[in-house]
Structure 1
Amino acid sequence: MSPPVFTLQEAKTKLTNATREAVTSKNVKHLLTVFNQVPGSENEKKVTLDQVFRGVLEEEIINQASCDNCLAIISLAINGVTEGICTATTPFVLLGDVLDCLPLDHCDRIFTFVEKNVGTWKSNTFYSAGKNYLLRMCNDLLRRLSKSQNTVFCGRIQLFLARLFPLSEKSGLNLQSQFNLENVTVYNVNENESTLGQKQVEDRDDGMEIEEGEMGDDEAPNSSSIPIDYNLYRKFWSLQDFFRNPVQCYDKSSWKTFLKFSEEVLAVFKSYKLDDTQASRKKIEELKAGGEHVYFAKFLTSEKLMDLQLSDSNFRRHILVQYLIHFQYLKGQVKFKSSNYVLLDEQSLWIEDTTKLVHQLLCETPPDGEKFSKMVEHILNTEENWNSWKNEGCPSFVKERPSDSKPQKVARKRPAPEDFLGKGANKKILMGNEELTRLWNLCPDNIEACKAETREFMPTLEQFFEDAIEQADPENMIENEYKVVNNSNYGWRALRLLARRSPHFFQPTNQQFRSLPEYLENMVIKLAKELPPPSEEIKTGEDEDDDDVDNESLLKETNESPEVQQLKPVTGVLIDSLASKLGEQWKTLAPHLEMKDSDIRSIESDSEDVKMRAKLLLVAWQDREGVHATAENLIAALNQAHLNKLADSLACDTDNIT
C-alpha cells in the first residue's frame, strides 16, 4: 500500500483550523500534533504552515481585531520555529505585515512586543535569519513617524537596533564622519521684514528702549539689559550653519565670520547672567517635583522669542554644548578628514581660550552649573575614545579568555630503542614529540596525503560571495560604504579565487573600472545571475516572481550605473580649444578644480597672457588628476563655476572628436 500523497488544500484546511485553536488556547501542542499527522514531506508542510500563519493574521487584521490576537499569532509562530514546524523567517514576516497594515497607535503596542523579545531575536535560531528583516522593518517604521511629534517612539526604535546589533556592526556607524547637511536652521534673513527692526523704529519714535509689561519678571529677569537687535539675531542664528558643517571653519574667510559672530554672541552670554536667586531655585525644584521635562525638537527662530530664549538656561546650554562639540571636531584627528583641513596656531589658541570660556559660562548657568560642565567634559572625553576606535578600523571588542588550566608536568622516562625505531613491518617513525609523531604517521605516503580531498581549503564561489550577493540586492538597503567589496583584504582574496574558479576573470571587456570595488561589484552581478537561487528553506512565502523582478532591476541598475561606463579622457586638442574660450574666466574655474592659492599665483607669474594662463591651469589639473582627468569631470567643474555655455561647448567638442 502506497503512502498517502500530500494535498495542499487538505493540509491547508487542517493546519488553519489547528492554528486558530492554538491561538485561542495559546498552546502549540495541538498544532504540533496536526502537523505531524498531515502527510507529506517536512519542507512541504513547513511552507504550507507559513502561508497559513499569514492567512490567519490577514483575517485578524481585516476584521480589525485587537492587537492581542495578532501578537498571539506571532508568539505561536515563534514557538513553531522552536519546534521546527515552520521556517525561521516566519515571525519576522508576520511582524512586517502587522506594522505595515496597522495605524501608528497600534504599532506602538506591537513594537513593545518586539522590544521585550530582543533576547529571542538575538538567539542563534533567529538572528541570522531575521536581522535584515528587523532592520528593514524598523527603517520602514521610522519613515512613517514624525521626528518632532513621535520623538520618543523614534528613540525607542534606535535603542532597539543598538541592542539588537553588536557594537562591531559597521552598518550603524558613521565611519566616514559625514555631517547631516540637510539639518538647516531657517530664520528671517530680511531685515525689512524683521519685527526687531520695526520695534527699534517704534522705540525711537516713542523715546523708549523697551516696552514695560511685555513679560513677567520671573520669565525674563533683567531683560532690558540684553542688547537685542536684528544684527544680534542674524549673527546668532548664522552660527548654526557652522555647527551643521564644521568644515567651513578651515576656510579663511568663513573662519573670520565665525570668529566675529562667536565673540559677539559669547560676549552677550558673559555680560548677561541668568538669575540664580532663591525664587528661581524654588521654581526649578517645583518643575523637578512635577516630573516635567524640557525638550527642544527644533530651534524656534522667531524674533519675538529671542529675549525669552536668551533667558532660558536649557537653551543657553544647547548653544554652549554645540560650541564644545564643534571645537572637538576641529581639533580632533579624524581618519577621513582631508589633509588640507589643518588649523593654524592662532586658531588653535583661540579655540583653547574659548573652550575655557564656554566651560566657565556653563558653570555659571543654573541649576547645578559646575556639575553639568563636568558631565559634558566627561562625555566628550568618552567620545574621543570612540573616535580613536573608528580611526583604528573598529577592532572587535571580544577578547579570548586565557586558559585557566595549567599544564601538568609529566615525569620524563628514558625511551627504549624500540620506542623510536619502531616495531614490525608497519614501523612507526617517532619524531621525538607526541604530536609530531601523530602527524607524521597519519598516512604512509605523504604525497598522497597532500592530495586528499580533506585538504581542499579553497571555498566555492557561492560560499565566498554569498554576503556580497546579498548586499548587492537593493531590497536589503545596504549602503555602499558598508559592503564587503570595499574591504581591501576581501578584494585581494576575491581576485585570487576568481582567477582559480571563475572564467569571467580572463574574459576581455571594454569596461573601464576606477577601482577594485567597482570591478568586484560588476563581477558579483554576473555571479548572482549564474549561481543557483537560495534553498527553499529560507523562503518566506513571498512570490518568486518578486525575487526575479528584484534581480532584474538590480542588473538593470548596475548596467546603467554611470560609474561603470567608459569615461572620455581630456586630450590636448580639447585643452587648447577650451583655453582659448576660457580666457579671463580661468580664475573663476580654478577653485572648482581644487587648485591651491599658491598654484594660482605660480600660474600668474609664469605668463601674462590670459589664454596661456588658462592652458597652464588645465594642464596642471590634468597632471594632478592623471586617469581621472576626464571630460565629464571637467564639464562638472564648469557647471559648478556657472560657466554653463563653456560646459556645453566642451561637451559638443568631445562628441565631435569621439
Structure 2
Amino acid sequence: MAISDMTPDNAMAAKLTSLLQRARELKQSASIDPPLQVSELVTDNEPLLGHLISDKDVRILAVERAAKNIFYGNLGSIPITDPSFVEIWNLLDILQYCGDRDLSSQQLVLLLIEELLDSQSISGCRYVFSYLESRREAIIANNNKNKDLVILRLCNELLRRLSRAEDPVFCGRVYIFMFQSFPLGDKSSVNLRGNFHVENVTTFEEYLQDSMQDGNQMQVDEGRTEEKVKDQVNTGDAAAKPAESESIDKEKSDTMDIDTLYPVFWSLQHSFSNPPRLFEEENFKQFQQSLEATLTKFKEAETVSATADLDRKKGAKPRAEDEFASTFNPKYLTSRDLFKLELSDLAFQRHILVQALILIDFLLTLTDKSKKKPYYANAQKAMQYSFTLGEEDTEWALGIKTSITNYLQEGTEGKFYYRMVDTVLSRDKNWVRWKMENCHPFTRDRVSPPDCLGAKSGAQGAVKSHVLKLVNQSRGLEYMSTDNAQRRLAKLKEADSFILPSAESYAKSIQMADLDLEMATTEEERQELEEKKSSSTWRGLRLSSKNRLRSFDRAEDGKGGLERLFQPGTWIEATGEDNAATATGPEVRDTVPHQRADEEQRADELSQVTTQ
C-alpha cells in the first residue's frame, strides 16, 4: 500500500521511520554529538514532510502523534546508556529541524525532552541535559513564548529533583542553561513581588529554647559570683592583674556555652529566610542578641579549615583555590552533636556571616534616608515596606556590619574572600534597585538605516557650516596694508628681533620665574610660571650644548639643571683634567685646545641634528 493511501498518522509515522533509517546510515556515531545533518537526509527535489498533508493543523497534529509513538516505543525498550539510544537523539534532531521550518510544533522537541527527563534517574538526566546543552543555540534560535515556558518548566522541575549539596555542579549547569536561554532582563526570574524563600525551613532541637534566658542569666550570675570569690581570696593577685586580662575574662564570661548558644544560633535561620519578621520589635531584639552572641562565639573559637586539615593529614600543602572549591555546602546539618565542630569550621562561619550581611543590607535599605531616594519613591508597591529602621537600630546595624567585615578579612586569604563577597553584594544592590524601578529593559532597539543615514548627513552638514563660518571670518593678508601693520613689519626687521639669545639669558629668566613662584597666589599663575620655567630650561640647554656640553654632568633633572651650568667652577672641572695631567708639562697642555675643538665640533653636529 502506498503512503498516500494510508491515514495521516500512519503516513507520517512511515515517513519518520524512513528518515530514521537514513539517519543511521548518515550518522555512524552512537553519541549525542555531532548533531544529525537533517538537510542531508533528503535530496534537493524531495520535500521532507510537507507533501504528505497539505493542511497545516492536520500535519502538525499528525507529526506529533507519529513522533510520540516512535519516541515511547524506543524509550520503553532501550536504556539511555545503550548505543542504540541514538535513535531518539536522531528523532529529536529531525523534529527540531521540522519545528524551525513550521512543519511541526516548535515546542514539540522540548515537550519530548521534558518527558525524557521525567522518565530517567539523576544519572540518566545528565545524558539528556548534555543533549539539551549541545542543541541550545538551535533550540533558542526561533524563540516564542510557548518554548520559553517549556524550558522554564523542565529546568525548574529538574532543579527540584536535584540536591544542591550532592549535585552542585549539575545544578550549576541547569542555572547556566537558563541564563543563556533567557535574556538578562527577562521578568521570569526577577521575583517581581519580592517574595522570600520562606519554604526553606531549618529544623533543629529546640529543647533548650524555653530555658535559654534563665540559663544565660544563671551563667552570667555564676561567672560574676566566681569572680567575686576570687577577688576576696586573692586580693593581692587581683590588684596586680593587668586590665587587658580582666577584659578578656569578662568577655569570656559573657560568651554563651555550647548548649545555650545552640538554639540561639539556629534561630537566626528564621530571620534569614523571612526578613520581614524583624519588623516586629520583639523579633528584632532577639535577632540582635543572637547575632551578637554568634559573632562573639566565632571570635572565641579556634577556626580550622576542613580542607586544610585533610591536606595536613595527607602531607600536602593547602591551596586557597581548592579550599574555596570544596567547601560549598548550602545546607548544614543541625545535629546537636556536630554543633561544636561546626563552630570551629571556617567555611561554616563564613556561610553564616555572609547571610547576616545580606540581611543587614536589606535592613539598611529601610532607613529614613534610603526611603527618600527617588528610585524608592517610584518603586512598585510590592517592594515598598511601611517599616522604617530607627536611628538606634541603624547605628547597631552599621556597627555589627563593620564587625563582621573586619572578622571576615582576618586570616591569610581573608581579604581575598571578603573582596569576592563585597563584589557580589554590591552587584546585588544594583539588581535590587533595577527591580524596584519596575525592571526597565536593558536592550535597546537597533537604529534603523534611515535614522543612521540622517544622523550622518546631519553631522556632515554641521561640520561644513562651521568650516564655512571660519572661512568667512578670516581676513587673509589685508591687515598688512594698514599703517599699524607697517610699523610691526619694520619692527621685525630690527637687529634685536632675529639675534639668537644667549643661554645665560634663559638662566636669568629661570631665576626670575623662581622668584615669581614664591609670590604667586593662584594655581593658574603657578602653572603658567612652571610652564615658562620648563620652556626656558629646554631652550637654554639646547643653546648650551654648543659650547658647554662637557659641563652637562653637573646638571640634574629637577634641581636647577640650566643654572648649574653657569655656576663658577675651576678650570679642572671645565676641562676634566687632574693635577697629574697639568704637572706633565706643556706637551699635555697643548692637547687641550685640540680636545676643545673636537668637543665644539661634536656640539655643533648635535645641535644641527636636534634642530632638524
| Residue 55 (1) aligns with residue 69 (2) | yes
Picking from 441, 444, 454, the partner of 1:399 is: 444
Q: 1:184 maps to which residue?
A: 201
- Quick one: structure 1 residues 290 and 68, their matched pair in 2 at CA, closer, same or farther if it must change by over 3 Å? farther
TM-score normalized by the length of structure 2: 0.55
Q: 1:454 maps to which residue?
A: none
Q: 1:22 maps to which residue?
A: 22
Picking from 38, 41, 45, the partner of 2:54 is: 41
Task: Give 1:15 shift.
Answer: 0.9
1:143 and 1:14 map into 2 onto residues whose CA distance is 38
- Quick one: structure 1 residues 6 and 322, their matched pair in 2 at CA, closer, same or farther if it must change by over 3 Å? same
Task: Give 1:50 shift.
Answer: 3.2
| Matched ranges for 1:96-115 at <5 A | 96-115=114-133
- Quick one: structure 1 residues 362 and 250, their matched pair in 2 at CA, closer, same or farther if it must change by over 3 Å? same
- Quick one: structure 1 residues 109 and 288, their matched pair in 2 at CA, closer, same or farther if it must change by over 3 Å? farther
1:64 and 1:394 map into 2 onto residues whose CA distance is 47
Task: Give 1:148 shift.
Answer: 4.2
Q: 1:239 maps to which residue?
A: 268
1:237 and 1:39 map into 2 onto residues whose CA distance is 66
1:296 and 1:123 map into 2 onto residues whose CA distance is 36
- Quick one: structure 1 residues 356 and 393, their matched pair in 2 at CA, closer, same or farther if it must change by over 3 Å? same
Q: 2:187 maps to which residue?
A: 170
| Matched ranges for 1:337-356 at <5 A | 337=383, 339-356=385-402
1:302 and 1:180 map into 2 onto residues whose CA distance is 23
- Quick one: structure 1 residues 228 and 46, their matched pair in 2 at CA, closer, same or farther if it must change by over 3 Å? same
- Quick one: structure 1 residues 315 and 407, their matched pair in 2 at CA, closer, same or farther if it must change by over 3 Å? same
RMSD of the TM alignment (CA)?
3.6
Structure 2 residue identity aligned to 1:68: V
- Quick one: structure 1 residues 381 and 300, their matched pair in 2 at CA, closer, same or farther if it must change by over 3 Å? same
- Quick one: structure 1 residues 354 and 99, their matched pair in 2 at CA, closer, same or farther if it must change by over 3 Å? same
Q: 1:362 maps to which residue?
A: 408
Q: 1:602 maps to which residue?
A: none
Q: 2:295 maps to which residue?
A: 266
| Residue 152 (1) aligns with residue 169 (2) | yes
Structure 1 residue identity aligned to 2:169: V
Structure 1 residue identity aligned to 2:287: F
Contact 2:50 2:103 in 1 (8 A): no
Q: 1:133 maps to which residue?
A: 150
2:282 and 2:19 map into 1 onto residues whose CA distance is 70
More displaced stretch, 343-352 vs 93-102: 93-102
Cα offsets for 1:577-608 (capped at 9, x unmatched): xxxxxxxxxxxxxxxxxxxxxxxxxxxxxxxx
Matched residue count = 379
Contact 2:110 2:151 in 1 (8 A): yes
Q: 1:86 maps to which residue?
A: 104
Contact 2:23 2:41 in 1 (8 A): no
Cα offsets for 1:204-257 (capped at 9, x unmatched): xxxxxxxxxxxxxxxxxxxx9996331122212122222222223222222222
Q: 1:330 maps to which residue?
A: 363
Task: Give 1:46 shift.
Answer: 4.5
Cα offsets for 1:265-292 (capped at 9, x unmatched): 222223345369xx97974843668786
Cα offsets for 1:120-164 (capped at 9, x unmatched): 22212x444422222222233334434444443333223322221
Structure 1 residue identity aligned to 2:156: N
Task: Give 1:368 shift.
Answer: 0.5
1:264 and 1:320 map into 2 onto residues whose CA distance is 12
Picking from 272, 277, 286, the partner of 2:318 is: 286
Task: Give 1:346 shift.
Answer: 0.5
SS of corresponding position for 2:334: coil
2:60 and 2:385 map into 1 onto residues whose CA distance is 57
- Quick one: structure 1 residues 35 and 282, their matched pair in 2 at CA, closer, same or farther if it must change by over 3 Å? closer
Q: 1:142 maps to which residue?
A: 159
| Matched ranges for 1:491-510 at <5 A | none
* Higher Rg: 2
- Quick one: structure 1 residues 369 and 168, their matched pair in 2 at CA, closer, same or farther if it must change by over 3 Å? same
1:331 and 1:40 map into 2 onto residues whose CA distance is 64
User: 1 or 2 for the larger relative contact order (CA 8 Å, sep ≥6)?
Assistant: 1
Task: Give 1:328 shift.
Answer: 0.5
Task: Give 1:35 shift.
Answer: 4.3
| Residue 296 (1) aligns with residue 329 (2) | yes
Task: Give 1:6 shift.
Answer: 7.1
Q: 1:251 maps to which residue?
A: 280
- Quick one: structure 1 residues 111 and 7, their matched pair in 2 at CA, closer, same or farther if it must change by over 3 Å? same
Q: 1:500 maps to which residue?
A: none
Q: 2:423 maps to which residue?
A: 378
2:145 and 2:311 map into 1 onto residues whose CA distance is 54
- Quick one: structure 1 residues 30 and 374, their matched pair in 2 at CA, closer, same or farther if it must change by over 3 Å? closer
More displaced stretch, 354-363 vs 253-262: 253-262
| Matched ranges for 1:421-570 at <5 A | none
Structure 1, unpaired ranges of 5+:
198-223, 412-658
- Quick one: structure 1 residues 290 and 350, their matched pair in 2 at CA, closer, same or farther if it must change by over 3 Å? closer
SS of corresponding position for 2:19: helix
Task: Give 1:117 shift.
Answer: 2.0
Contact 2:320 2:413 in 1 (8 A): no
Cα offsets for 1:73-118 (capped at 9, x unmatched): 1112222334554332331232123223233321211111112222
| Residue 388 (1) aligns with residue 433 (2) | yes
Structure 2 residue identity aligned to 1:396: P
Contact 1:359 1:373 in 2 (8 A): yes
SS of corresponding position for 1:407: helix
Structure 2 residue identity aligned to 1:393: N
- Quick one: structure 1 residues 373 and 352, their matched pair in 2 at CA, closer, same or farther if it must change by over 3 Å? same
Task: Give 1:373 shift.
Answer: 1.5
2:417 and 2:321 map into 1 onto residues whose CA distance is 19
- Quick one: structure 1 residues 50 and 237, their matched pair in 2 at CA, closer, same or farther if it must change by over 3 Å? closer
Q: 1:317 maps to which residue?
A: 350
Task: Give 1:363 shift.
Answer: 0.9
TM-score normalized by the length of structure 1: 0.52
2:397 and 2:50 map into 1 onto residues whose CA distance is 76
Contact 2:271 2:277 in 1 (8 A): yes
Percent identity between the two aligned chains: 26
- Quick one: structure 1 residues 289 and 231, their matched pair in 2 at CA, closer, same or farther if it must change by over 3 Å? closer
Task: Give 1:7 shift.
Answer: 4.0
SS of corresponding position for 2:75: helix
Structure 2 residue identity aligned to 1:99: L
Contact 1:363 1:373 in 2 (8 A): yes
- Quick one: structure 1 residues 22 and 51, their matched pair in 2 at CA, closer, same or farther if it must change by over 3 Å? farther
SS of corresponding position for 1:183: coil
- Quick one: structure 1 residues 387 and 130, their matched pair in 2 at CA, closer, same or farther if it must change by over 3 Å? same
1:159 and 1:10 map into 2 onto residues whose CA distance is 40
1:176 and 1:13 map into 2 onto residues whose CA distance is 47
- Quick one: structure 1 residues 288 and 401, their matched pair in 2 at CA, closer, same or farther if it must change by over 3 Å? same
Task: Give 1:398 shift.
Answer: 0.9
Contact 1:20 1:56 in 2 (8 A): no
Picking from 70, 75, 89, the partner of 2:88 is: 70
1:192 and 1:347 map into 2 onto residues whose CA distance is 25
Q: 2:137 maps to which residue?
A: 119
- Quick one: structure 1 residues 52 and 31, their matched pair in 2 at CA, closer, same or farther if it must change by over 3 Å? farther
SS of corresponding position for 1:190: coil
- Quick one: structure 1 residues 302 and 90, their matched pair in 2 at CA, closer, same or farther if it must change by over 3 Å? closer
